[in-house]
Amino acid sequence: MGGPRGRLISDSDRIVAVELIDEARANGARLKPACKELDITDRTYQRWTKEGAVKKDQRPLTEGPAPKNKLSQEERLAILQIVNSAKYADLVPSQIVPKLAEQGKYLASESTIHRILKEEKMNTHRSRSKAPKKREIPTHIATAPNQVWTWDITWLNASIKGQYYKLYLILDMFSRLIVGYEVWETEKAEHAEHLIKRTTLSQGLAGKPLILHSDNGSPMKAATFLATLEKLGVQSSFSRPRVSNDNPYSESLFRTMKYSPKYPFNGFSSIQEARKWVHKFVIWYNKEHLHSGINFLTPYQRHYGLDKEIMENRKKTYEQAKAKHPERWSRNIRDWSLSEYVTLNPVDEKELEELINRQEASTTAK
């Protein structure tokens, strides 16, 4: 190797490198660490100075021969002429190559044709159908309870194999409080309509701005349900198709529920039993469960404004403990602060500012 990773190094650079290494060694440095600082090996240094003077690089500076499989300019032009002809202009290479093969013609592989089109800036959408559009990642911001809700339906297994009950559940994104839920035997838009009406009424949200996010299930997109949301002044929001993590808060809640030690893995014997169990779970989750996503508060405490006093008490307790035994604390006390906002999906600072401005404008308009 002529230098680090085999790259060519000029003779003048070699001389400077050797002088620096010799100076470092004269001041007590060892050879290997001194060479490492210049990103060369000690064996390279020894080869450079083998005959007492810095040895010049004997490798040729000219480029090697072109690859044997490289297309000639004539072949390249022939490919461009055919793929842009009237017969093939609307087809992609994966369609062109087989058609040419049927005629006994082979120009190049699909990947090679793609590469040539890309180099010529011709690798655009070639068919008449609309080019696929990258869907914008749905995201919303909540700075207080009852600004953004997420909801979903999960199946609760019954004791009879193949039978399930459907849990409809609405979660407040900011506080993680379960604000509404119902258990039914079927998935119907009517059940969802009843639930959203009852939940907005219980939270006193008549006429107030609210975003309801969900996945793309049929009850979520039913015309009657969307009409109900419009009457209530609720803005609907949906996950991207076939993207499972665009509704993370509801999915996380269902995972917590079904991994609960008390979850009946053998199934519920009746819908009444399922409703009774879910009712107990919701009380535990809202009022007893210390949620890691809100710094180990209960959702009830966060939703109803009890969080600030609780966190202040925790902070004072830790400060007193540190003052009593400072030798036991190598760093600051535990962070008992709370985030001022929650977003559906991660955002950067610019997106965050846009979301806040949009939310303020929406609130003002209401």
Q: What is the pLDDT of residues 158-204, one digit of tens each?
A: 999 889 999 999 999 999 999 999 999 999 999 999 999 999 999 99
Of 301, 329, 350, which residue constitutes the final position of a domain? 301
Residue 189 lies in a domain: yes
Please indicate, yes or no, whether residues 202 and 247 belong to a single structural domain of this protein.
yes
Q: Is 355 left (phi over 0), alpha (psi -120 to 50) or beta?
A: alpha
Q: Is 149 left (phi over 0), alpha (psi -120 to 50) or beta?
A: beta
Please indicate, yes or no, whether residues 109 and 181 belong to a single structural domain of this protein.
no
Please indicate, yes or no, whether residues 10 and 99 belong to a single structural domain of this protein.
no
Residue 320 lies in a domain: no
Burial of 285 (0-12, 13-18, 19+ CB in 10 A): buried
Please indicate, yes or no, whether residues 166 and 278 belong to a single structural domain of this protein.
yes
Output DSSP code: residue 243.
-
Residue 345 lies in a domain: no
Q: Is the pLDDT of residue 302 over 70?
A: yes
Write the CATH number for 185. Answer: 3.30.420.10
Which range (73-82, 179-188, 227-236) has the least confidence? 73-82
What integer pLDDT is reported at residue 181 of this predicted model?
97
Please indicate, yes or no, whether residues 248 and 103 belong to a single structural domain of this protein.
no
| Structural domain total, the chain | 3
Please indicate, yes or no, whether residues 146 and 292 belong to a single structural domain of this protein.
yes
Please indicate, yes or no, whether residues 41 and 107 belong to a single structural domain of this protein.
no
Residue 200 lies in a domain: yes
Please indicate, yes or no, whether residues 152 and 295 belong to a single structural domain of this protein.
yes
User: What are the C-alpha distances in Å from 12 to residues 9, 55, 243?
Assistant: 8, 11, 57
Please indicate, yes or no, whether residues 286 and 246 belong to a single structural domain of this protein.
yes
Q: Which domain holds residue 258?
A: 141-301
Mean pLDDT of the chain: 84
Please indicate, yes or no, whether residues 201 and 282 belong to a single structural domain of this protein.
yes
